[in-house]
Structure 1
Amino acid sequence: MNVRAVFIDMDGTLLTASNDISSRNMEAINSLINQGVKVFLATGRHYEVTAPYHKEIGLRSPMICLNGAAIHDAVTGKAMHMQTVQVDEARFHQLTAENPCNVIIHTTDGIYCKETNEEIDYWTQVGKIPPQYVGDLRRADYRDVLKYSVLTGAPSQKFSALFKKEAEVIDWNNGFELVAHNVSKWSAIKRLLHAFRISPNEAVAIGDGPNDIQMLRHVGTGVAMGNASKEVKAAADFVTGYHEQDGLADFIERYLLQSYKSIVI
């Protein structure tokens, strides 16, 4: 397996349920870097809650954030690329008001939300930046939206389908996300592979969520976590262990590290 780049999802892949990087995952990633492989984080998170983990690992590669809507420089944090999404705001707020849900709007200058929750409190703790606004979003003065998150607490395909003409829809078990058409982690990966002159066939992507499906399908080797859904696993070439059992490190050790290749072969 000739691999020059590895793209790693964060939640449910790199991180444990307590939002930590295990020592085994850290060691495996550092071993990859020492072999000359470029390692990237590719996440649905915004920059402020991606950068601390990027720094903890010691990566020097750009960060793919907000499902590919933003790419940030490793050193300065400055956005190298951003793609905003446009929906009919009046219609969006009417529909989300009619359905019981929380709404989080990720913009170029921060987060706007209908109400806070544990995840947003965690983001504030890690990223050191609280939401720009909490309350009735029809009264919020926001612009340049990168991603909408609609949290319904249950699968909501009929609801999310109402926005498919306006945006790229990512359905989750507890709601859905909206980004601009043709935006995905894969679209950002293509941009970075071109910049680093790396073929998609020389890239590995590892993830567990519906926002990972495109990158798993299109890189040379797609790896789904054991905790991924059947749909995500079907898009992958390999299925590794669960994130709580260092499935990320297990795949890296078995298939990507030089010292293990003789064992695999």
Structure 2
Amino acid sequence: MTIKLVAIDIDGTLLNSNREITPRVKEAIKKANDQGVYIVLCTGRPIPGVENFLQELDLYKENDYVITYNGSLVQATKSKEVISEYSLPYEDFLEIELMARKLNVHLHMSDEQSIYTFNRDIGKYTVHEAYLVDMPLRYRSVEEITPEIKAIKMMMIDEPEILDEAISKIPECFKEKYTTVKSTEFYYEILNKEASKGNALKKLAAHLNIPIEETMAIGDNENDLSMIEAAGIGVAMGNATDSVKAAAQVETASNDEDGVAEILFKYLD
């Protein structure tokens, strides 16, 4: 099968446990690029959290694209042309913030410039996220968040056992109103209903006139499920969750065993 576009998750997929892109993975991505295959980083991170990897992989050329915020934003890397964008209206921000308070879990919100927390006792996983994606962290009261601030995604964050208990108490009508994904054991992400990695992959493929059957998606966690199910070939990393492995057609090696390189060399030789 001809593969013309490969969507690759970052954390737990592209990066090894040391948060590095190994030389073999770089070699495989360069080979795919040289063959004219679109390599698209597809991540829950915001743009500032992926720029160094785009530079490292030389994915800032005219025809390069990136999918960020778990599919909320699809854009060209060089020109910044937006292919699709889904944000959360101000009324949704208020509803999500109220839900987090009722559940007594930490919450933060991201726009394109900053991460905002509304908790005076700032959660350690919010600090971790700001460090990981290289974005400024700002405390704001709910009253200081005005409708002009464009919320791209919101995250309930807490210790895994606290977060799991809170999620179990969220009404189904709330979950049906949004796209909700548990991207790690301590992150529960809430997005516009139209936003997902799978929908973003479909939008980008259509923009590039690439049949979805000629796409590949590689991932490891729950937020990768939609793109693995949408792609022509869905690939689970060796370190992927059981649900991702069940949804994928193919399994590759783990992120510490150059799994991305293994699958690219297999299909692109």
Partner of 2:239: helix, strand, or coil?
Answer: coil
The change in CA–CA distance for 1:205 and 1:160 in structure 2 (over 3 A counts) is farther
Alpha-carbon distance in 1 for matches of 2:71, 2:194: 10
Alpha-carbon distance in 2 for matches of 1:104, 1:79: 24
The change in CA–CA distance for 1:166 and 1:175 in structure 2 (over 3 A counts) is same
Q: Any conservation in 2 of the 1:160–1:176 contact (CA below 8 Å)?
A: no
Q: Which amino acid aligns with 2:48?
A: E
Alpha-carbon distance in 2 for matches of 1:101, 1:17: 28
Does 2:160 correspond to 1:157?
no
Does 2:28 correspond to 1:28?
yes
Match of 1:134 among 139, 156, 175: 139
Cα offset, 1:2, TM superposition: 1.3
Partner of 1:106: 110
Q: Which amino acid aligns with 2:105?
A: C
Partner of 2:25: helix, strand, or coil?
Answer: helix
Partner of 2:228: helix, strand, or coil?
Answer: helix
Does 2:65 correspond to 1:62?
yes
Partner of 2:195: 183
Match of 2:243 among 207, 231, 250: 231
Cα offset, 1:57, TM superposition: 0.1
Cα offset, 1:102, TM superposition: 2.6
Does 2:195 correspond to 1:192?
no
Listed as ranges, the gaps of 5+ residues in structure 2 are: none
Partner of 2:215: 203
Cα RMSD (Å) of the superposition?
A: 2.0
More displaced, 23-32 or 155-164? 155-164
Does 2:88 correspond to 1:77?
no
Listed as ranges, the gaps of 5+ residues in structure 1 are: 259-265
Partner of 2:130: 120
Partner of 1:217: 229
Partner of 1:77: helix, strand, or coil?
Answer: coil
Match of 1:146 among 146, 152, 168: 152
Alpha-carbon distance in 1 for matches of 2:81, 2:106: 29
Alpha-carbon distance in 2 for matches of 1:252, 1:25: 9
Aligned residue pairs, count:
252
Q: Which amino acid aligns with 1:120?
A: A
What is the identity percentage for the equivalent residue pairs of Structure 1 and Structure 2?
Answer: 27
Q: Which amino acid aligns with 2:114?
A: G
Alpha-carbon distance in 2 for matches of 1:174, 1:161: 20
Q: Which amino acid aligns with 1:208?
A: D
